[in-house]
Structure 1
């Protein structure tokens, strides 16, 4: 090791000078002696220390450093690294020395404390830090004169309290380090052996080193005799920009004893970091050092979380990003005032159109005024009173919204798609006494709700009626009045009504117009549902800037043929929708070769959920060059949008940014301690600006949590986690709370859980987002409630976008601490059981691991031929190779005897044909192609001519059993090559026949036996219940025929999907499991004879059985419960122990076991052979 070099040089000089070395073999300790003594040392104290010091430490989890990429599990380190160094200089070195001296701490411990605090900040607040260091290992004086390898690597763990000052952290590090050094002789191998479940000791990849030495030129000189030798400099550089690096990240403090100054070197692996990133990290370290030790406002006595790693250029960048102030020529106004202004400018311009109906600006104003006066005069709507509106897409929707604004009311949209229960709850929450409806929604409300049919008001207008405009002019609406309410999902289970002022809306629209996202020349297609605040922008926003709105008929936004026609015929120039819907629409027009309908677009906006680079590339291949693509972002509480980004696939190659603040908006990104973050660091986005809402209606407590005052300005805490890149663009990372977005809709999972918990039979539940596309609800129920009942309950209480796609019903959520595997997620369930509402512990769900095999739902491939499944191959080859052709080992039989009543032969035959038609595996052939060595399966039509055999009779039980046995061993019962894998036969009882003179075959009578046989290549035991359920259903309902359901998943589809699964990880697992095992080795069981190499199996067997008495059975179950294992696992352990004894101590045991292998929900109701061995 390196300290050996000094010993070596000393002895070399002595041997050269004197011609001899002064040592005594009898007294001098040799390295070999050290090695033997070390093995004999009692290390009990050290063992206990390290076990305690590393308790609950995640030694196999890397620190979340700002990596540019991650090393894959099967990827080896290349050894390529980059290095960067900097000198402290005189001033910083002096301050560093003074601090160490005044606090009575060694320089090494001060440097280590600095490193820990730097890692705390660099990892965005990681408190439990464990790194590796090398110790010299010469813990006894006798070792100092020995040449050898003594160095030992040890883990250095430090659990930081962010609120402690740097000085206190330094004291903690010193105490911790002194204890670790005391027991540093404990070999690393022993430390690792204390943690057998650790997969990889990655803590060693982050390291620290402190070097004290004289200047390099003096250090590298040695004397041999009278000659002075200078070591030639050498480098482990691979190239000018690369070095060899053993670590992923190491910080080296160097103390030059000659100059009494310091320098730092950072070495980092290029497998994980770009050189530019390491350079930035080095700059952050310098920034922090100067904050701590040299600034006039020294931070060593402040909490460490107050330290900042932000560089000066990043601070300037954030200031530049937030320099968005724009003075508009017009003062903030009210929504209806802006509309009337546009009417005065161009009264005959088309304002709104729906199919064959249309209104100009002046016509629209007239109808709005009529309805407004009705609200004021007949329904006495007061200023600021909430008026709900529940209408489908129509001209009435537009008229109703603007009329509520003109009458001084507050518009509150209710979705016609919501269940009646939810509509009533929202009306009650807003305390609204009036709901505007039209002909399609009048039946949604009973007589307890006062409703006004907009259509009835407009159709009953007298042709000579006069609109008393003066009455409307006297409504004292001002820009600070509330204009509308939008419900957002609430964490308490109750939707939160966000209140937006007139000025919030009009100024937000001005910001959009200023950057030319939205302008008066646009023809806007109204895509958003009324539960989405975007519909207010599309309707009211368009009308206050003088644009034209094209409305859709109900559900027209998902009627792509209709939508395509409108895009072309109405020459739509502005489209705004969520990425999911946009992707579906683009796929539709591409498949139909009608992409030219997008040629008129000039502004295409998307938002509400993540926009992918692939979607943008598809868009750019379709739209014209003069159409801008915008990614917009903003919660309802900031009014419409607060961030914008003009997308360009040439620049946005990896992700689509959220962008930067709109004019008159600004944002800050804060960490968990409320301090600004640096570029590339994740933090919560807070938004300030003209659109900040007025609070939640009736929920001052929630408003206080949502709004934060900073330097006299109100900021909305979005809960969105973002990062800012070097160009000042924000990138979305996720949600701080557990509110999610699904297809653009914000959803609080707690609201769904609370809805389900209102069912008396449900005692616990979890709702999770699955694969970005679905909601899955897991419920614990004490009754026989089914999935459809749960779905109906949710449909009657929740809007459609909050209905889970899947319901998993469990009698009891498992209590043992083993991992429980749900249908879509793997999740440790025990911690959730401490609260009835699992949402309260939902942060634990972040550790759920998605199984890629389960992540994508499988669908029908509409194929009739394909490669056989792995299970079919195994059965086919087993039958051909391991057994003689004279033996039928895979005939699966079920026998049923008629004990009461009779069966109709014809109905039974039709029922069988129905089942064979539905489950195509029961008519699928298997053929082996000798040319390419592939086993193929093909679906046949033999079900159309399928018949029930009725040739045999029996007189007594012995004859019946003989017939069954002969059928079981009949090697010609099936023919896989033509798809004959299923057989049904009626065995008639001869005595019953003699008693019954009518021997007609129309009925299957008492005592007759129905024998049903399957080949195992088409059937496993789990298929039994599926088969008989469908057979009984078909017989009882007298199904005559069944059309092919091309959409249902068939076994042949499973076989194809199975071949596409990435099995790399599985292959590696089994390779490692069986790497050194001889699979051809037979266990040394006490056999009476051996099978010769050319012998086939006879399939004959002897069976014996024992039964446990009640006491042993109960003890067995108790043992399993106490040790948290299943009865299967305990039984398997018993077998292994028994085989160990039976084989006279064979320790390496390998047996076979079968697994049902239906690992996806789609496979639960499919017949076929799924079992794996």
Structure 2
């Protein structure tokens, strides 16, 4: 028995066993038409776990590559696009040279078909289908693989499903089933998926629409109707019963643009999503004067009605909790408004220091220079480069871009590690040969610190490592193969102040040392707090008391007037951006 053409339905095994089919073998086949139908196979072991059936290994005379966006090989368990090469790869599309050019890629002298399918390789060398590349979307700053959500839903009793992005704000799951409800599906997703991947709405149909090829036709799926769901899903409108419910009801109606919402309505059924939950979270803290982190965002997700939220807030207000004992957790977001410090530095650099004059370039550079003090240190350049890349991978702020969004606000975006490290045009790690004369060495350092392309905030280029090497004799080069630093060589880090300050130095050096000493990849905790988490917290802090304090302290001062400092000459009306050094000496 062979299964092919669609993702292997694990329920097929149960159906075969229920019909007592004797003496059979079951194979899962995979392959697009462009590779002559079948290019991989997997012999299904019905005694093993059948939750996720792999598509297996390539057939004879076929070769499969899993590549990332830069056509580089991926590691084990890393998701990438499947490229198929071998005798079955087609010659091209008839009369469509443009399509052929995008579909066929030459790698190592061999033609490969770009399938558009996302797969990963497990420790046994088996390929696992993860979904379509064109079904990978970005929602509220998060990358979402729709196929992963569909695979999760198929673990329930449903027979088929499809998940789509709706109006750039929502995930909508269409499910084919006659004996499951939305609550059961939502609870299942909450058990297996991150919060941002849980669909806002589940639409249950008796049968999903199919096209002439027997595949789900997304164009024929019925449009979701969020606005009326709260009226049709409940027999009667439940009104708020206490003060907390009244306040929460008002906040919900405000955010969701509704006149009336039943207190037992699921927020996701009326257009709610992860950003709305975060907005509610911040509103609750302000309206109910809650202590920082005394209320959990995940609890709001898991209990999505006005009644539930009122109960959670009541418990929070009556709970005495020491905030110092509370464990903060990462929000797992990659886009947000810039912090106040980032906004100030970004604007200052754009307005005051945007001149191309070298004297004003990189006013916000933080240089850290270290000298190799002994020949016994044995610092490897290649190992140091790997450690440097590990630091960029661990700390999102070191690969964060700042830019103006479409609303004119300053935003930050944490870029993917691979994009930063493998960017061809960037020279974040460089090796420079130093001359013998000290004054020429100083000129080289000065030139580095003032070069116009040292940073690019719009591309997340905020940190560099420069290896400054003294001239080596042929003997010393032969001895260490040119990879080891010698005595008095310099290591110069240049870091933009928008992502770094004096307190950060000890953290950078500590993590760099740990990464250098480790032969494996530097361990990265996905739940560790990042600077973007602080930025979110900073924007939602209640600054009322602080503002009142400083307004009281500065009462009577004219805050719009310039300070009348004593000067010995007339101040220029234009900012000439001039600075320099001055020294004085006094005789005893």
TM-score by length of 2: 0.42
Structure number with greater CO (CA < 8 Å, separation at least 6) is 2
Larger Rg: 1
